[in-house]
Amino acid sequence: MSVRICVPRESAPGETRVGLTPDAVKRLNSDDISIAIETGAGDAAGFPDSTYTEVGAEIVADRAALLGSADVVFKVAAPDAEEADQIREGAVLACLLRPHENAPLFEHLARRNVTSLALELVPRITRAQSMDALSSQSNLAGYKAVIWGAEALGRIFPLLMTAAGTLSPARVLVLGAGVAGLQAIATAKRLGADTWGYDIRSAVKEQVESLGGKFVDLEEGAPADAETEGGYAKELDEAEQARKRELLTQHVAKAEVVITTALVPGRKAPVLITDDMVERMKPGSVIIDLAGEAGGNCTLSEPGQRVVKNGVIILAPLNVPASLPYHASQLLARNLSALVTPMITEDGIAVDLEDDVIGPCCVTHAGEVRFSA
């Protein structure tokens, strides 16, 4: 029995990525799997229809017909109500579902008996590393944040010795040493900046230093239980957050570029930089707030906007991976393929809710919503 994987063109505003790339199609195509792509689905990411047909994919112009014939749907963003209605009943949907804010959609998918898998809920275990879309996309976001910071800053990053004198390196401070933060540290260091990193988890100090950064250790001997079992930083209460911000103020004031990456799944982003901290920064300094979609780590951030306050430039970009659609799509396609391929059997799709990856990331199945935010 052949399983049909279908990939529609993304309809969300500003979404340039695609759920499957030609290299992934080439790996997946077999006697057991056929692949259909909506016309133009890969155009914005740099993958025209011809690159798909060359590796054996079918190009379909009618989205409703495409989704109505699918056993599996690969998407980037969550479907809207119209798309959800078009997905064949009993099909499997895998994408970034934004599970903490999409409850009405899940009710809709459950009524249509669609099994939906949220990439955000893939557990951080060894077996699931190849399926971890949050990490693959955060890596790119960390890189791009540094590029945007360098572009907005009115000076160069590296130390430069010239006949006219020596230019000192820019100081970059990265708040949050998760996947995005560590990539930002590595990128800033490669560009020659005086690079610093901070995280409430003192255990990441070694990782920051291994990338050439210097670790901001606000308190020697900080508690070792500052992270969750899933590897995320624990959310601090407001009093503890305020105390940390006070200790961080002097470090923020010294930095020319500050990149913030702190997120708590399902919650508003924690405040790391206050109005007062921005006032103490040097004019011309730059803040890149990667938590813009969750309200921002800076109190002056406006999601998707450029703000200038006291001479400090504050950027809170949205959907950062979509600014690098070619590689973001390649990585996402590999994540989706790694997640779903083990579910494909000779008899079709097998959804094993006891599986330690599929179970946790399955949001709807057999007419029921399995996830509660």
Q: Are strands 194-198 and 257-260 parallel, antiparallel or unpaired?
A: unpaired
The CA distance from 11 to 96, in Å, is 14
Q: Do 261 and 341 belong together in one domain?
A: no
For residue 134, is it within any domain? no
Query: What string of H, E and C letters represents the secondary structure of the chain?
Result: CCEEEEECCCCCCCCCCCCCCHHHHHHHCCCCEEEEEECCCCHHHCCCHHHHHCCCCEEECCHHHHHHCCCEEEEEECCCHHHHHHCCCCCEEEEECCCCCCHHHHHHHHHCCCEEEEHHHCCCCHHHHHHCHHHHHHHHHHHHHHHHHHHHCCCCCCCEEECCEEECCCEEEEECCCHHHHHHHHHHHHCCCEEEEECCCHHHHHHHHHCCCEECCCCCCCCCCCECCCCCECCCCHHHHHHHHHHHHHHHHHCCEEEECCCCCCCCCCCCECHHHHHCCCCCCEEEECCHHHCCCECCCCCCCEEEECCEEEECCCCHHHHCHHHHHHHHHHHHHHHHHHHEECCEECCCCCCCCHHHHEEEECCEECCCC
For residue 129, is it within any domain? no
The CA distance from 316 to 308, in Å, is 12
Work out the number of other CB atoms within 10 angstroms of the CB of residue 48. Answer: 12
Q: Do 314 and 171 belong together in one domain?
A: yes
- Which residue of the set 129, 210, 250, 305 is catalytic? 129
The pLDDT > 90 percentage for the chain reads 86
For residue 133, is it within any domain? no
For residue 289, is it within any domain? yes
CA 300, distance to chain mean position in Å, is 22
- Which residue of the set 98, 124, 245, 370 is catalytic? 124
Question: Is the confidence at residue 302, as pLDDT, over 80?
Answer: yes
- Which residue of the set 232, 241, 326, 355 is catalytic? 232
176-235 residue pLDDT tens: 999 999 999 999 999 999 999 999 888 899 999 999 999 998 875 444 455 555 555 566
* CATH number of the domain bearing residue 212: 3.40.50.720
Number of compact structural domains in the chain:
2
For residue 249, is it within any domain? yes
Q: Do 264 and 307 belong together in one domain?
A: yes
For residue 290, is it within any domain? yes
Mean pLDDT estimate for the chain: 94
Tokens 């895998």 correspond to what residue? 94
- Which residue of the set 71, 132, 194, 289 is catalytic? 132
Structural domain of 35? 3-122+328-369
Q: For residue 245, what pLDDT band results from cuts at 50, 70 and 90?
A: confident
Question: Is the confidence at residue 239, as pLDDT, over 80?
Answer: no
Residue 296's nearest CA partner among 320, 318, 279, 321 is 318
Instruction: Mark whether 86 is an active-site residue.
Output: no
Instruction: Mark whether 124 is an active-site residue.
Output: yes
Q: Do 225 and 306 belong together in one domain?
A: yes
Q: Do 293 and 362 belong together in one domain?
A: no
Instruction: Mark whether 135 is an active-site residue.
Output: yes
Q: Do 159 and 286 belong together in one domain?
A: yes
Question: Is the confidence at residue 1, as pLDDT, over 70?
Answer: no
Q: Do 281 and 342 belong together in one domain?
A: no
Q: Do 222 and 350 belong together in one domain?
A: no
pLDDT at 265: 85
The CA distance from 373 to 371, in Å, is 6
Q: Do 242 and 362 belong together in one domain?
A: no
Q: Do 63 and 170 belong together in one domain?
A: no
Q: Do 285 and 339 belong together in one domain?
A: no
Q: Are strands 171-175 and 257-260 parallel, antiparallel or unpaired?
A: parallel
For residue 64, is it within any domain? yes
55-108 residue pLDDT tens: 999 999 999 999 999 999 999 999 999 999 999 999 999 999 999 999 999 999
The pLDDT > 70 percentage for the chain reads 94
Q: Do 357 and 297 belong together in one domain?
A: no
Assess contact for 317 and 143: CB atoms under 8 A.
Answer: no
For residue 102, is it within any domain? yes
